[in-house]
Structure formats: C-alpha cells, structure tokens
Amino acid sequence: MKQKGVDNEKSVDPVFRITGPTGMEKEQSESSLESKEDCFSLADEDAEETSWRLIYITALVSFLGAIEGTAVHMSEWPYMREIDPDATVQFFGIASSASKAAHALFVLVFAMWSFKYKTVKWPLITGRIIAMVACFLYLGIEYIPTGRRYMMMFCYILFDVSGSSPSILRAYIAAVSMPKDRSKAFACMSLSMTLSIICGPLIQMAFTTIPYPGFTIIPHVKFHVYSAPIWIANSTNFISIAIIVFGMKELPRKPKTKKPKKPSIFELEGLKMRIQKIKNSNIDWVLVFVCWIAKCGKTMTARSIGTLLPILMMVQYGWTGIETVRVTSFLMGGSGILSMFVIGSFMFCKLGTIVQPRYIYLFSISLFTMLYVVTYPYKSIGVEVAAFNATDNTGCDPEKYSWCEGGIAAQPYVFLSCMVFVFGMTMPSSGISLDTIYSKILGKIDQSVMQGAAVILDDIMMVITPTYASYLYTLVGLKPLWIINGFIMSMVVLLWIVMLRKFKPYS
C-alpha cells in the first residue's frame, strides 16, 4: 500500500501516513520556523499581514491531493492480484520502492522549479495533470492483454510524481503568513491531511458493494470497487486545478534593485556556505545522530507494516479483495480519527508543554515496540494461516510461500485493533515531539541543510523498506520479520533511554 498525494516531509507508511507537516508545534520558536524556510522562500521578505484566505485555499488544495491518494491506493494490492495472477509480493515491493524513489526525486525538481521562477501555480497544475494521466492509464489497465502489473507500477510512479508537487505548499504558506501566525498556518495543513485520512476511506467504502468486474457504464469502460475511486480521484484533479487557477495567486517579485539575498541552497555556493556555518556552529552531534537513528528505525518498521498489511489480510486470513479494501478503510478511518484527537491535544491542550517532548517520544516508540510483541503470531493463541483458494486467489499458496504448512497468524481482531490504536496514537505524537526536539538541538542556525538531511534519510528508508519487507516475508514469513523489526525498535527505545538526560535542555 502506498499513499500518494501527500507531502513527503512526514512520515507515516502508505496506510497510516497521517501527520502531515509538524511545523505546527506551538513551542517551536519563530526563529526556527524562519530559518527552515530561509533556503526556499517564495517571497522576498516576510509577509506584512497573514493572508488567511490563501492559507485556507492552500489547505483545501492539499486536502484534495491527499484525499486522492487515500481513496485510491488502499486497493492497489487487491486490484493487482485480481487482474494479474502473476503479480508477486516481491514485485509489489519493488513497485512501491520505485514509486517512492520517484517521489523523492521530484520533490527536489518541483522545489527547484518553484524557487527559480518564484511560482507555485504551475508546479501544482503540472502535478495535477500528471495525476490525471495516471488515472486514465489506471482505468485502462484491465484492457491490456498481458503484463498488467508493469503498467500498474508505472501508474504508481506517476501518482507519486504528482504527489510530490504539493511539497512546495509549505514554502508558500511561509511566504503568505507572518512569523507569529506560522504555527497556526501549518496546523491548517496538518488538519487538512488528517481529514483526508478519514474521508478517503469513506469514499472507498461506498463502492465495496460493487464487486469486480462490476458493470459497463460506456463501451469498454467498467465501474467496480477498484475503478470507482479513480473516477472520484480524477474529479478532484479538475477541482484542484480550478482552485489553483482562480483561488491562489503568485507572489509579487521585488524590483531587481533590491539588495540581493544570500545564495539559495539550490546553488552550490549557497550550499557550501550553509555547510560551513554548520561546521562552525556548536551543535551536539551525538544527539543529532540519535535523532536520525530514531527517525530511520521508526520509518523502516512502520513502512514494513504499511507495505504488507493488505498482503497479510489476503494471504494469512484468506480475505477477498473487497473484504481487504473494506477492512483497510476501517483501519485508516479509525486511525485518522484517533490521530485528530492527538493532534488536537498538541494544538489546543498544549500537550507539548505539559509533558516534555522527550517523554512523549519515548512513550510513542515504546508503544510502537509493544505492537510487535502483542501482534506476534504465537502458536498457542494464534490461528492457522488460511488455506489457498484458487478461485478467489486468496490464502497461503504453498507454491509461492514455503512456510504455509503449519503457518500461524495473530488473531485478526487483536491484530487489527492494535494497528488502529498504535498508529493513531504514535504517528502524530512521535512526529511532533521528535521534530520539536530536533529543531531545538539545531538551535538558531540556518536549519535548511540539517532539516533536508533528515528528510533525505527518511526518503531512503521509504525506498528501501518495501523491497526488504516483501522479500523477507515471501522467503521466511512474518515471524522473522516481526522479530527483526521488534529488535530494531527495542534498540531505538534503549538508545533513547540512555540519552534521555542529555535531551533535557532541548525539551
């Protein structure tokens, strides 16, 4: 499973990517917010007055892009298995990795385009046009006689390329808001993406009563549980373009006589200058590396679950594609609702000031580690993996998985309940708390390079993990994967506990 259309900056796997930008943290200093955007500014100076109309329009554009991803991509694996029996878990993992690599690359492309030409409309419109092309290709996949999985992989890549264009909205919000209003402005973005996690599954759920192959609406065009959300997603593209064209506005440029700003991070001179400043600054590099390790460990293990979740439902529990889509909708919706309460506690109840972020993060990663303990497929309390059903192409096929005979899966209701609770609780809280600590460790320096390094590390994990998880699951099953991921998270928790006192000045 993957989710496109969502800003790559924050972390959650394809199923549970729910936090969005965490720049909303109230106690993050204004100077930190300013320094983050200094490298990629669409305005020549801070806004004299916050344009809330543009911020709300930007949040709406972000919502429409995100809802496209959540409405469409939760059914990717069931649909691939339905229309191409030769598709394997390993291939799905490779396709997921390829799409995330494309996303990471085009985040940079759109950012450079937007910065160089001081434009926000054209990169966003281009992203929506690419999404339209992907939607039309996706609708036509079932009419390709052979090799449908390869066309699906190409569509995944296009969806993720289109989903990288909204990354520039973060800089746009910074350009149209005053520093004192920036936290609230970013909160609007975060809320819009969280709402998409709730609304997207509702759209998918509405069509689960139309099983594949559905019915023909016009010659050679079918309407069913897997294609219906594509029509909805494509309609949001037209709406988004209209809003971008008529609702958003480009920011005015200052005359060329204005005193030039320092070189951008996109220029070699600017990058060298920032790196040199970082070398000369008094940063606690040990804590920086601890934050990087914690971020990578959490992303890797969470992404493993996101990649395999629909596969587990169909292989281990023998659920059909429609049942898998329906259950995934409940999971995403439930996690989204729970995450809204968590985000609200930071925004309105000032949880980040009542409880120190270092303790919030420790709680989050400890709870996430316990997920692997509770959902481990114990033989004494688990259930046998479902027998292979050739008619529905569900269950554990011994020709593909050597561990099918005697294989054990966790109790499905326990497994799914834990997923909803843990992801809903930990993803927003861990993202907000770690970002807060990390930005305070960096201090008043220009944080562009160091924040970019953290994003790059996160992207690397997002690219590697789908292939790692899918291959390991195919070869040896869920138990070894759960042991490895549980061990990784246990080491992250232990490292955080050891360094807990050193984080005190920054939380």
7 falls within a domain: no
3-class state of residue 488 by DSSP: helix
Per the CB < 8 A criterion, the answer to whether 374 and 449 are in contact is: no
Please say if the pLDDT value at position 89 is more than 80.
yes
CB 396 within 8 A of CB 89: no
Q: What is the pLDDT of residues 382-405, one digit of tens each?
A: 899 999 988 888 899 998 899 998
If one compares 203 and 279, the residue with the highest pLDDT of the two is 203
Per-residue pLDDT, 186: 72
pLDDT of amino acid 8: 38
Q: Is residue 203 part of a domain?
A: yes
Mean pLDDT across the chain: 81
Q: What is the pLDDT of residues 27-75, one digit of tens each?
A: 433 333 333 334 455 655 556 788 888 889 988 998 888 887 777 777 8
Supply the pTM of this predicted model.
0.79
Return the CATH number at 368: 1.20.1250.20
**Residue with the larger pLDDT of the pair 184 and 432:** 432
pLDDT attached to residue 454: 79
Q: For position 269, what pLDDT does the model report?
A: 66
Within 13 Å of residue 308, how many CA atoms lie on the same side as its CB?
A: 25
d(CA 124, CA 249): 12
Within 8 A by CB and 6+ apart from 218, the residues are: none
Name the residue among 405, 400, 407 with its Cα closest to residue 383: 407
Residue at 401 is within a domain = yes
Helix (H) or strand (E) holding 471: helix 448-476
DSSP-assigned states of every residue in 232-251: HHHHHHHHHHHHHHHH--PP
Element (H, E) at 142: none
Predicted confidence at residue 132, as pLDDT, reads 93
259-269 in b/e burial notation, b at 16+ Cβ within 10 A? eeeeebbeeee
Sign of the alpha-carbon torsion through 495, 499, 505, 507: positive
Q: Does the structure show a pLDDT above 70 at 323? A: yes
Q: What DSSP designation does 229 have? A: H
List the one residue out of 116, 108, 488, 440 whose CA is nearest residue 305: 488
Please check whether residue 2 lies inside any domain of the structure: no
Residues of the chain with pLDDT > 70, as a percent, come to 82
Q: Which domain holds residue 279?
A: 30-254+264-506
Query: 317 or 68: whose pLDDT is higher?
Result: 317
What confidence score (pLDDT) does residue 194 get?
76
* 8 within some domain: no
**pLDDT per position as a tens digit, 217-255:** 777 677 888 888 888 888 889 999 999 999 888 876 655
Per-residue pLDDT at 187 exceeds 80: no
> For 330-348, how does the pLDDT look when each residue is reduced to its tens digit (9 = 90+)?
888 888 888 888 878 877 7
Lowest mean pLDDT among 131-140, 212-221, 363-372, 466-475: 212-221
pLDDT, position 37: 39
The residue count of the chain comes to: 507
The CA-atom distances, in angstroms, between 33 and each of 9, 46, 48, 248 are 15, 12, 16, 23
Contact present, 291 and 451 (Cβ < 8 Å): no
Alpha carbon of residue 136 to chain centroid: 24
Query: Which of these ranges, 132-141, 180-189, 285-294, 388-397, has the smallest mean pLDDT?
Result: 180-189
Strand partners, 215: 223
In a domain, 259, yes or no: no
User: What value does the mean pLDDT take over residues 152-165?
Assistant: 91
Say whether pLDDT at 482 is over 80. Answer: yes
Structure-model confidence comparison of residues 79 and 277, the more confident one: 79
State in Å, rounded, how far the first CA of the chain is from the last one: 35
In-domain check, residue 20: no
Contact 351, 284 (CB under 8 A): no
Question: Residue 260: what pLDDT?
Answer: 54
219-244 burial: b if 16+ Cβ within 10 Å, else e: eeebbbbbbbbbebbbebbeebbebb
The two three-digit tokens of residue 99, written as one number:
């799409």
Decide: 2 and 99 in contact? Cβ < 8 Å. yes
Q: Return the structure tokens found at 314.
A: 């169909």
Position with higher pLDDT, 355 vs 124: 124
d(CA 17, CA 15): 6
Please count the structural domains in the chain.
1
Is residue 302 domain-resident?
yes
The predicted structure's pLDDT at residue 77: 86
**C-alpha span between 294 and 304 (Å, rounded):** 16
Most confident of 9-13, 16-20, 69-73: 69-73
